[in-house]
Chain A
């Protein structure tokens, strides 16, 4: 029986928007299909095993906690995360976690280091926080366009370097910076997004894509068995409607 191994990074600090909802979706959707599921945590100062998990999850946090985690990511976990990404493990970073995936996050006079997994920088803006429902068109597999719907709430403006690809195109909402029409980042199995907290309950199809991709990096897996997703589909429609799509 295959098993999905998930490593939650700083789960006691980076959880401000109910990030555990994402982990719960992954867990239940594995178990309902007879796929094993194991979650482990890696906190401040903890050594990170680059081969220990199929999916690494980094959520959002308050400024103070985000700063502690940024330093720890850069000093303690950076190399392991790079090694994990290189072997195809999924790294999913949401909101405050997403801001730590790139080179740096500049907050006024202070610059937080990033994990350097992707080519992007984030700057805290003096302008208003970008808050609201958001819908994004993504093309995770060539030719297959789908919609991610969720909620965003961020003061930072993120800009991708040349050649770096976004996760998707903003249909409604702000996305990375409210200006260039892009949302998130994707480089192979490394994904960052401002669609915060429980993104997966509103996009169960994306949870399944993550499960498939994470398991597939270790061993070939066929298509996942379909589940009765009537409630999940309705929640997705409501989230899209809230965003105006």
Chain B
């Protein structure tokens, strides 16, 4: 540890320089420097956390789920070391630990809470030796970067087996067959799932994956589909079926783009959760977060109160006011996530004003094919005006045109600043929904911060919390 101290000082200095030079958030740079100086920095620093670490991964919902867990831990008075800005690869995790490191081998926090990128889970999770791993879902996403879904599932299986072997608790979504399979032979598994057919979709969405049994290859039969390929499924050939969840959501109510509620049913009892976030996807996030926290030994009351405290994570259903217009930003990254956002949007009774931003930079996935897998058809009869922006604005407009949106409602304005101004000026009903891809969200956020309309995401959470 005496050896680590000067490296920490050096890495922090680099981070400070980067911040002053305004090079992005600089959220992962100091960590990358630290890892270059000390490859074992993550296990060394994480080992200082008296209550250990928890790890969260999923294709969709990582950041929000981690924010929910943080809110519950806040209620419980447990201080966390948390990569809340969403920098979720090795550099981001190391940066977060670096920021919390104190002299004398100490660390400022009791429990580590880390969301991890799907592709980095198998490299970073073992270094954290987590006491709990929450795996939420696996969807088709950025094939140019992540490769095939089956490949990721295999890598995750190794992580789950290793962690379980070391005594970690696995908290798994029973409704996702790829995730549920990770716990089939493990000890210490908590399954969570939805038990409410009233929120099911009538048929499986187009871009659904993993419809086939991983054990015998036969197509699963779904009694209920909740979202993408999540639901109540069984294999007609080998008989494998969705594991019965011990933590479940019942009697779900979805209130438009604002909020949702459900009954959280667990061995500890049952209680109504009032979630200030919209959509069934957030019910899943809350359910996973709740199951993880209950597994930590926190009480049901604390969990329910914490979930009620949660605030929208950066760009995930976050609302701000611009010139008298309420602007709600909903990050879209892949077909399954986009479908849930669209499904939530059309819960609103009125025609919608939309600013949709499609970028094709590395962090978005350079391949924009995925917009053709998302069910934009849901919007066909429901939008009043769509402003299409981003590096691939025109392809997005083409997608919406072929989804059935009348061409005279589509406006292509590639530049994000100009598009935002136009969309806000034209939003005559006082509400605008913004659907950006990841780098578009960063761009938007920088733009608004420059205008004093939003706080940069790399500032400490305290500055953002109400």
- Contact residues in B for A17 (Cβ distance below 8 Å): 143, 367, 369
- Contact residues in B for A129 (Cβ distance below 8 Å): 147
Which residue of chain A is the closest to B145 with respect to CB atoms?
A131
Asked if B412 and A20 sit within 8 Å, CB to CB, the answer is no
A198 within 8 A of B: yes
Q: Complex formed: what's the CA distance from A15 to B143 in Å?
A: 13
Asked if B407 and A16 sit within 8 Å, CB to CB, the answer is no
Within the complex, the shortest CB–CB distance from B323 to chain A, in Å, comes to 28
Choose among A62, A228, A238 the residue that contacts B392 (Cβ–Cβ < 8 A).
A238
Asked if A228 and B407 sit within 8 Å, CB to CB, the answer is yes
Asked if B366 and A133 sit within 8 Å, CB to CB, the answer is yes
Q: Complex formed: what's the CA distance from A239 to B370 in Å?
A: 15
Asked if B412 and A231 sit within 8 Å, CB to CB, the answer is yes
Within the complex, the shortest CB–CB distance from A235 to chain B, in Å, comes to 4
Q: Complex formed: what's the CA distance from A238 to B393 in Å?
A: 9
Asked if A239 and B395 sit within 8 Å, CB to CB, the answer is yes
Asked if A238 and B395 sit within 8 Å, CB to CB, the answer is yes
Q: Complex formed: what's the CA distance from A151 to B365 in Å?
A: 11
Q: Complex formed: what's the CA distance from A72 to B373 in Å?
A: 25
Which residue of chain A is the closest to B392 with respect to CB atoms?
A238
Within the complex, the shortest CB–CB distance from A182 to chain B, in Å, comes to 22
Asked if B369 and A197 sit within 8 Å, CB to CB, the answer is yes
- How many residues from B make CB contacts under 8 Å with A? 34
Q: Complex formed: what's the CA distance from A12 to B204 in Å?
A: 11
Asked if B150 and A201 sit within 8 Å, CB to CB, the answer is no
A63 within 8 A of B: yes
Known contacts A198-B372, A234-B394, A242-B360: does B148 contact A24 (CB below 8 Å)?
no
A106 within 8 A of B: no
Q: Complex formed: what's the CA distance from A15 to B140 in Å?
A: 11
Asked if B373 and A24 sit within 8 Å, CB to CB, the answer is no
B interface footprint on A42-72 (CB within 8 Å = 1, 0 otherwise): 0000000000000000000011100000000
A196 within 8 A of B: yes
- Contact residues in A for B149 (Cβ distance below 8 Å): 62
A107 within 8 A of B: no
Within the complex, the shortest CB–CB distance from A215 to chain B, in Å, comes to 20
Choose among B211, B369, B410 the residue that contacts A151 (Cβ–Cβ < 8 A).
B369
Asked if B150 and A153 sit within 8 Å, CB to CB, the answer is no
B397 within 8 A of A: yes
Within the complex, the shortest CB–CB distance from A86 to chain B, in Å, comes to 32
A interface footprint on B365-381 (CB within 8 Å = 1, 0 otherwise): 01111111100000000
- Contact residues in B for A201 (Cβ distance below 8 Å): 372, 395, 398-399, 402
Interface of chain B residues 137 through 184 with chain A (CB within 8 A)? 140, 143-144, 147-150
Asked if B369 and A231 sit within 8 Å, CB to CB, the answer is no
Q: Complex formed: what's the CA distance from A21 to B144 in Å?
A: 18
A157 within 8 A of B: no
Q: Complex formed: what's the CA distance from A17 to B140 in Å?
A: 10
Asked if A151 and B391 sit within 8 Å, CB to CB, the answer is no
Choose among B366, B372, B410 the residue that contacts A132 (Cβ–Cβ < 8 A).
B366
Within the complex, the shortest CB–CB distance from B374 to chain A, in Å, comes to 8
- Contact residues in B for A232 (Cβ distance below 8 Å): 398
Asked if A198 and B366 sit within 8 Å, CB to CB, the answer is no
Asked if A235 and B395 sit within 8 Å, CB to CB, the answer is yes
Asked if A18 and B360 sit within 8 Å, CB to CB, the answer is no
Within the complex, the shortest CB–CB distance from A238 to chain B, in Å, comes to 5
A interface footprint on B230-246 (CB within 8 Å = 1, 0 otherwise): 00000000000000000
Known contacts A25-B402, A63-B150, A242-B360: does B369 contact A235 (CB below 8 Å)?
no
A146 within 8 A of B: no
Which residue of chain B is the closest to A131 with respect to CB atoms?
B144
Q: Complex formed: what's the CA distance from A122 to B373 in Å?
A: 27
Interface of chain A residues 163 through 212 with chain B (CB within 8 A)? 196-198, 201-202
B207 within 8 A of A: yes
Q: Which of A12, A151, A231 has the most CB of B within 10 A?
A: A231
Q: Complex formed: what's the CA distance from A34 to B412 in Å?
A: 27
B206 within 8 A of A: yes
Within the complex, the shortest CB–CB distance from B399 to chain A, in Å, comes to 7
Asked if B372 and A234 sit within 8 Å, CB to CB, the answer is no
Q: Complex formed: what's the CA distance from A133 to B395 in Å?
A: 14
A123 within 8 A of B: no
B401 within 8 A of A: yes
Q: Which of A64, A151, A153, A238 has the most CB of B within 10 A?
A: A238
Asked if A18 and B207 sit within 8 Å, CB to CB, the answer is yes
- Contact residues in A for B367 (Cβ distance below 8 Å): 17, 151, 153, 197
Asked if A151 and B144 sit within 8 Å, CB to CB, the answer is yes
Which residue of chain A is the closest to B149 with respect to CB atoms?
A62
A interface footprint on B111-152 (CB within 8 Å = 1, 0 otherwise): 000000000000000000000000000001001100111100
Q: Complex formed: what's the CA distance from A235 to B391 in Å?
A: 10
Q: Which of A153, A202, A235, A242 has the most CB of B within 10 A?
A: A235
Known A16-B148, A151-B369, A242-B366; further 10 A-B contacts with Cβ < 8 A: A17-B367, A17-B369, A18-B370, A63-B148, A63-B150, A153-B143, A153-B144, A201-B399, A235-B397, A242-B360
A-B CB contact pairs (8 Å), 8 listed = A18-B371, A63-B148, A64-B150, A151-B144, A196-B369, A231-B394, A238-B391, A238-B393
